[in-house]
């Protein structure tokens, strides 16, 4: 689920190494888009983010970080906080809807030239909302009394309990997720057992016929639901 600096280098080198006529027929690399945490629940370390930022600067690329699940990523990271994220990215957003807000996300743009016309572009694209102060209230609350981090930490801890229950019955995982998303690989017996009691998303089937599931906890997951699933797995 991660983009590596060498991936970016290869794309940029192929473009920059071609002749002018060839470059006129292809798109110029301009931006790198990553998610924190990734779609597989893994997180970039500060060292990895700095490496991506460095290669982007060398090739004049715009580094954008999708923060839809940012609360869960920050809570799981040992060395990345908002300050470090802002230092590495040209723009990122602080997730609201997946972290407990009624609606909306908070976009953070460092470059003044880009920021200058952002609201104008937003309006032209139909993205200007009425009652925007309501959105502002959500984010004001997020950053009081460490609420944003606490919400993320709580969801991660609940996911960890479910992960432990799977591990205790010998289930492996599709990715080494450190956050609120889990991707257990279950056999037919456990798959059918879980299907009787809960709803889940099946990412795909392995060649051996096992199911790769996607389970998520969130800011609103009750302890009772976690314990019920843990009991089901252990049974």
The string of DSSP codes covering 89-135 is -SEEEE--GGGT-SS--EEEE--HHHHHTHHHHHHHTT-PPSSHHHH
Label residue 112 by pLDDT band (50, 70, 90). confident
The per-residue pLDDT for 199 is: 86
Confidence of residue 144 (pLDDT cuts 50, 70, 90): very high
Residue 220 has pLDDT above 90, yes or no: yes
Domain boundaries, the chain: 5-142, 152-234
Collapsing DSSP to helix, strand or coil, 85 comes out as helix
In CATH, 5-142 is 3.40.640.10: yes
**Which among 84, 104, 102, 101 has a CA at the least distance from the CA of 36?**
84
Locate tokens 């003044």: which residue? 112
CATH number of 152-234: 3.90.1150.10
What global pTM score does this model have?
0.91
Q: Shortest CA distance to 95 belongs to which of 86, 108, 104?
A: 104
pLDDT of residue 5: 97
Q: What is the pLDDT of residue 180?
A: 97
pLDDT tens readout for residues 11-38: 999 999 999 898 889 889 999 999 999 9
């Amino acid at each position: 689920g991660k983009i590596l600096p060498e991936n970016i280098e290869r794309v940029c080198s192929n473009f920059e190494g071609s002749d002018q006529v060839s470059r006129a027929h292809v798109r110029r690399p301009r931006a790198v888009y990553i998610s924190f945490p990734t779609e597989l629940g893994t997180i970039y370390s500060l060292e990895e983010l700095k490496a991506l930022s460095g290669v982007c600067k060398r090739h004049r690329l715009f580094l954008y970080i999708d923060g839809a699940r940012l609360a869960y990523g920050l809570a799981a990271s040992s060395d990345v906080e908002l300050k470090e994220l802002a230092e590495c990215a040209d723009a990122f957003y602080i997730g609201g809807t997946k972290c407990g807000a009624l609606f909306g996300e908070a976009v953070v743009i460092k470059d003044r030239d880009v920021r200058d016309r952002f609201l104008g572009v937003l309006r032209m694209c139909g993205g200007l909302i009425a009652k925007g102060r309501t959105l502002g209230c959500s984010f004001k609350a997020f950053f009081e009394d460490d609420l944003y981090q606490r919400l993320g930490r709580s969801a991660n801890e609940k996911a960890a309990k479910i992960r432990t229950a799977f591990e205790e019955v010998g289930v492996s995982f599709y990715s080494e997720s450190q956050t609120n998303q889990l991707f257990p690989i279950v056999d037919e017996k456990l798959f059918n057992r879980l299907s009787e009691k809960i709803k889940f998303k099946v990412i795909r089937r392995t060649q051996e016929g096992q199911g790769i599931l996607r389970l998520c906890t969130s800011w609103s997951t009750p302890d009772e639901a976690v314990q019920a699933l843990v009991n089901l797995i252990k049974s």
